Amino acid sequence: MQWCNLAQAILLTAATLAAQIPDANSAPGTMVVGQEMQADTSSRPAFFGMGDENRPGRNGTLIGRPALIGTLTTAQLDAISAGGGLLALTGAARCEVTMAQINYRTPGAHPWQSSNASAALMVPGGAECPGPFPLLAFARGTSLDKLHSNADLADSGADLLMTFFVAQGYAVVATDYLGYALSEYPFHPYMHADSEASAVIDSIRAARHAANALGLTLNGKVMLSGYSQGGHASMAAQRAMERENRHEFDLVAAAHLAGPYNLSGALIAGIAHPIVGVQEFLPFEITALQKVYGNVYRHVSDIFNPPYDGYIENLFPTLLSDAALAALLPGGTPVQAQEAMFTAAYLRDVATDPANGVFRAAKKQDLLDWTPRAPMTLCGGLNDPTVPFPVNAQVAYEAFIRRGVRDVKLVDVDPEIQQAYGFLPPAIYYANYHGALESPFCVLAARRFLDLYK
């Protein structure tokens, strides 16, 4: 989920907590508690760049030229941090930030499909930041807005990346994924690990192609991170890079934040304990995987109750306003929303039958069957009601330890969240835990970890 405006008010209490964020120097294998221009599409299908490495048809090839969005000075960046109560966490900006939008080739949900995705490329600059810089590929959390682009100086998620990372000397590329912003792919394959991975990996290739045009000097080091859906995407990208692209990328470290790495396990756990946002995230996932595989269900009415079965397959991501979308979805508690949206037969079957189509499709997206090579940290909050920590980060951590991985850490930022926001009424606290309260603490933990390999 995206960072929301509520946080800019309630994060004013976070300034005293900077020193309490878990320290990434802890021993591996332990748990730590604690002026805007429109994109240039006139040149389609021209491929920007020189040489064979940017030839048409190759993944990561640029489509058109990078479109300059604007530049923020260090003073402007510090004002953004201070306005959200985050300056003590981000630290004073050392670098100004220039943002561009890039459009690049990437496969669809199947490798034989050719499509495109867009991304924001954020470049550090200024007298104090001569470079060269490491390149961090960051994958964002779930967005329900089909037009959502990371290449927006006013985007709250982009603000976090600029103030925490780019202003401290990281070049950052942040994909919009398939099906969003400039992408012409007909849908977003939500939570589909392979296409998430290719969108992230090809954004790195595209950023390299765009570097010279933007005056960006890279040092060759590549890092991965992401939050929520983006945590799943960044881990899927790490798995793919280490299996298939080890000689192309010098992947030095990865920090995966509050992601659903154990998607099938979370699906089952969510039957008895529905997540906050169940009426959005679960139908998005199920209908997207149906579009990918075609056999998740036979009839939409097998899964969804009326009236949702009449329109749910084409609802996400949406062009509707927040209010119009909310009117089409059930409200109430997570339990009430789940019972209203999903058929009782589906809920019984998915919980008990391993041959259930939704379960089988989710199982294919699990990220527990590999052995990471690059140093990794997993961050989350123990009481996250949307992406449960014990079912995802904890399970992934334990799975990697069993496979002999030692350079992996597990960071729980729940104590800091409780201390900062425990005064909030429970309904507000838990409704905003994942989408607003958890992310800055995990992003800081990620930066402290990645700084070790910068």
Interatomic CA distance for residues 235 and 367, integer angstroms: 7
The tokens describing 177, both together, are 């994924």
How is 137-151 classified by DSSP, letter by letter? EEE-----BTT--S-
Q: Which residues contact 326 (CB under 8 A, 6 or more apart)?
A: none
Whether the pLDDT of residue 254 is over 70: the answer is yes
What's the CATH fold of domain 6-262+371-451?
Rossmann fold (3.40.50)
Q: Give the E-state strand segments of 287-386 in sequence order.
A: 376-380
d(CA 412, CA 258): 10
Please give the Cα distance from 107 to 93 (Å, whole number).
36
Could you read off the pLDDT of 226-240 as tens digits, one per residue?
A: 999 999 999 999 999
23 pLDDT more than 70 = no
Instruction: Tell me what pLDDT residue 69 has.
Output: 98
CA dihedral over 246, 248, 250, 255, signed as positive or negative: negative
Q: Could you report how far apart the first and last alpha carbons of the chain are, in Å?
A: 27
Instruction: List pLDDT tens digits, range 31-84.
Output: 333 333 333 333 333 333 333 444 445 999 999 999 999 999 999 999 999 999
d(CA 161, CA 93): 12
Strand partners, 226: 139, 256
Residue 47's pLDDT is: 32
Give how far the C-alpha of residue 394 lies from the chain's centroid of Cα atoms, to the nearest Å: 19
- Per-residue pLDDT at 111: 87
Rg of the Cα trace of the chain?
21
Contact status, residue 207 vs residue 175, Cβ threshold 8 Å: no
3-state secondary structure of 114: strand
For residue 57, what pLDDT is reported? 56
Residue 13 has pLDDT above 50, yes or no: no
* Residue 50: per-residue pLDDT: 32
Tokens representing 197? Answer: 């991975």
Q: How far apart are CA 439 and CA 258, in angstroms?
A: 8
Residue 244: pLDDT above 90? yes
DSSP reduced 3-state for 95: coil
Question: Which among 266, 236, 276 is positioned nearest to 389, based on CA atoms?
Answer: 266
Q: What is the pLDDT of residues 168-222, one digit of tens each?
A: 999 999 999 999 999 999 999 999 999 999 999 999 999 999 999 999 999 999 9
DSSP 369: S
Exposure string of 28-59, with b = 16+ CB inside 10 Å and e = fewer, is: eeebbeeeeeebbeeeeeebbbeeeebeeeeb
Is 263-363 the same fold as 6-262+371-451? no
Q: Which residue has the tokens 């990372």?
A: 165
Cis peptide before 385 (omega within 30 of 0): no
What is the side-by-side order of every strand in the sheet holding 171-175? 31-32, 408-412, 376-380, 250-257, 218-227, 133-139, 171-175, 114-125, 96-107, 67-72
pLDDT in tens, 83-102: 999 999 999 999 999 999 99
Average pLDDT over residues 100-106: 98
Question: What per-residue confidence (pLDDT) applies to 51?
Answer: 38
Please give the DSSP secondary-structure letter assigned to residue 72: E
Per residue in 312-336, pLDDT tens? 999 999 999 999 999 999 999 999 9
**CATH of 263-363 among 2.40.10, 3.40.190, 1.10.260, 1.10.730:** 1.10.260
Residue with token string 């927006």: 152
Q: What is the pLDDT of residues 418-436, one digit of tens each?
A: 999 999 999 999 999 999 9
Can you tell me the distance from the alpha carbon of 5 to that of 108, in angstroms, rounded to the nearest whole number? 33
Span 346-375, mean pLDDT? 97
Average pLDDT of the chain, as a whole number: 90
Rounded to an integer, what distance in angstroms lies between the CA atom of residue 353 and that of residue 356?
5
Give the burial string for 114-148 (b: 16+ CB within 10 Å, else e): ebbbbbbbbbbbbeebebebbbbbbbbbbbbbbeb
Take residue 299 and report the two structure tokens written for it: 């009839």
CA distance 2 to 434: 9
What is the torsional sign of CA 157, 385, 187, 207? positive
The ranges assigned to domains in the chain are: 6-262+371-451, 263-363
